[in-house]
Amino acid sequence: MLTCDKNRMNEKVKTFSTFGATGNGGITRLSLSPAALAARAEFCKRCKALGMTVKSDDMANLYATIPGEGDLPALVMGSHMDSVVQGGNYDGILGVLTALEAAETIVTKKLPHRHPITVVVWTNEEGARFDPAMMSSGVITGKFKKEDMLKSRDSEGVTFGEALDASGYKGSESDRLDFNKTLGLLELHIEQGPVLEAEEKDIGVVEGVVGMVNYEFTMRGQADHAGTTPMNYRKDALLAACDVIKYLHTELDTLDKKLVYTTGRIICSPNVHTIIPDDVRFTLDARHQDPDVIKQVVKIIENVPKEMDKCSVSYQELWSRKTVAYNKAMVSIVEEKTNALGYSNMRMYSGPGHDAQYLADVVPTTMVFVPSVDGHSHCEIEYTPIEKCWQGANVLLNTALEMDQHDSF
């Protein structure tokens, strides 16, 4: 089996970790920030040195391509370069660097291939500077309206459109990825969880992205003085919220063990230590690959008591997504090549969202996961050993060359 260059892979990871370095082992590389633009410039320089053509579309997505034989559809690999605030050196960027390393191996070893091979960099995947996440892949796949996205503002009032104009990477809509001329899309990513490491697996063969629902609950009571209102007269919205959360956890725990759910945001009003809370809101995020389990989650939500501790209880859906299944033939190729390389592996679904999930609606798509030490991600101690990064690049390389033998998926 063919392999990439481990030392070269290591150099890539180390070099790109300098763009937006925090000094504490991580990075802050927000979309279209100076740090992100510096990383893009380095990427483009390396691609051009390999003889790749580089172009960007109207959402600043980058496409670096090795030509193929004739007018065949392109095989696309890549991920994103932007990070969260005080993020790590592997989320997103490793998918770009392993794709670049696979492409560099093809070029330097002069490996024959029929199809063009494109390394893609998606813009503003994290949504840490501009809402929403997966913005630019969402625009080109029709999930978001471009005019709305251009108006999205960061914390300093700068719009995405203004940052796009100033970036130097604003291309043409005609330069977007042509879905009709795309053989398939591969995205490597760190797992961002503890499963692969705990199961002692080298590679995650990703079958899809789990479905999810996100609801906000509102408890309304009565604000009164904390020192003068007897306990039996109170309408404490925070106490009601605690009991609703306990109710939800108790009921949801009866469902499938693979269900994960989180109360991640709580807003308490008036949030004064001498006043009984009168308005409390919290969110519930629930995820599972089986749509029937998600339906059971919604049923439990709908059966939440309308009154708790003398306070009214209401809820609304904020957003949701259906389970995304990746292309079965491509998933099987990833698994086959991983086995051929001698790497331990397991099939799994992704809990977080990725650009690949939007692309899966329009082109054949799959993903490859590599382990995250202790499951850490979106933090400065996020880490994947170079051995695992290299193994991921080898899986990409061999999967790409096998896909190249196919005319369609």
- Residue 208: predicted pLDDT: 96
End-to-end CA distance of the chain, in Å? 23
Bond into 270 cis (ω within 30): yes
Cα Dmax for the chain: 82
Q: Domain 211-321: which topology?
A: Alpha-Beta Plaits (3.30.70)
Map out the domains of the chain as residue ranges. 6-209+323-403, 211-321
The SS3 of residue 211 is: strand
Name the DSSP letter for residue 381: T
For residue 277, the Cα-to-chain-centroid distance in whole angstroms is 36
For residue 294, the Cα-to-chain-centroid distance in whole angstroms is 20
What is the pTM (predicted TM-score) of this model?
Answer: 0.90
Any bridge partners for residue 281, and if so which? 218, 267
- Residue 70: predicted pLDDT: 80
DSSP string computed for 13-62: HHHHTTTTB-SSS-B---TTSHHHHHHHHHHHHHHHHTT-EEEEBTT--E
CATH says 6-209+323-403 is which class?
alpha beta
Interatomic CA distance for residues 402 and 2, integer angstroms: 11
Is the Cβ–Cβ distance between 151 and 168 less than 8 Å?
Answer: no
Is the Cβ–Cβ distance between 122 and 137 less than 8 Å?
Answer: yes
Per-residue pLDDT of the chain (409 residues; tens, 9 = 90+): 999 999 999 999 999 999 999 999 999 999 999 999 999 999 999 999 999 999 999 999 999 999 999 899 999 999 999 999 999 999 999 999 999 999 999 999 999 999 999 999 999 999 999 999 999 999 999 999 999 999 999 999 999 999 999 999 999 999 999 999 999 999 999 999 999 999 999 999 999 999 999 999 999 999 999 999 999 999 999 999 999 999 999 999 999 999 999 999 999 999 999 999 999 999 999 999 999 999 999 999 999 999 999 999 999 999 898 999 999 999 999 999 999 999 999 999 999 989 999 999 999 999 999 999 999 999 999 999 999 999 999 999 999 999 999 999 9
- Residue 359: predicted pLDDT: 97
The two three-digit tokens of residue 82, written as one number: 């932007």
Contacts for 153-157: CB closer than 8 Å, 24+ residues apart: 154/30, 154/129, 154/130, 155/129
Tell which residue, 400, 340, 323, 331, has the closest CA to residue 368: 331
Do the bridges between strand 324-325 and strand 203-209 make them parallel or antiparallel, or are there none, so unpaired? antiparallel
Do the bridges between strand 203-209 and strand 260-262 make them parallel or antiparallel, or are there none, so unpaired? unpaired
Give yes or no on whether 6-209+323-403 and 211-321 have one common fold.
no
- Residue 319: predicted pLDDT: 87
Interatomic CA distance for residues 353 and 349, integer angstroms: 11
The SS3 of residue 341 is: coil
The enclosing H or E element of 138 equals helix 135-140
Cα distances (Å, whole numbers) of residue 232 to 229, 276, 331, 369: 8, 13, 59, 54
Give the gyration radius of the chain's Cα atoms.
Answer: 23
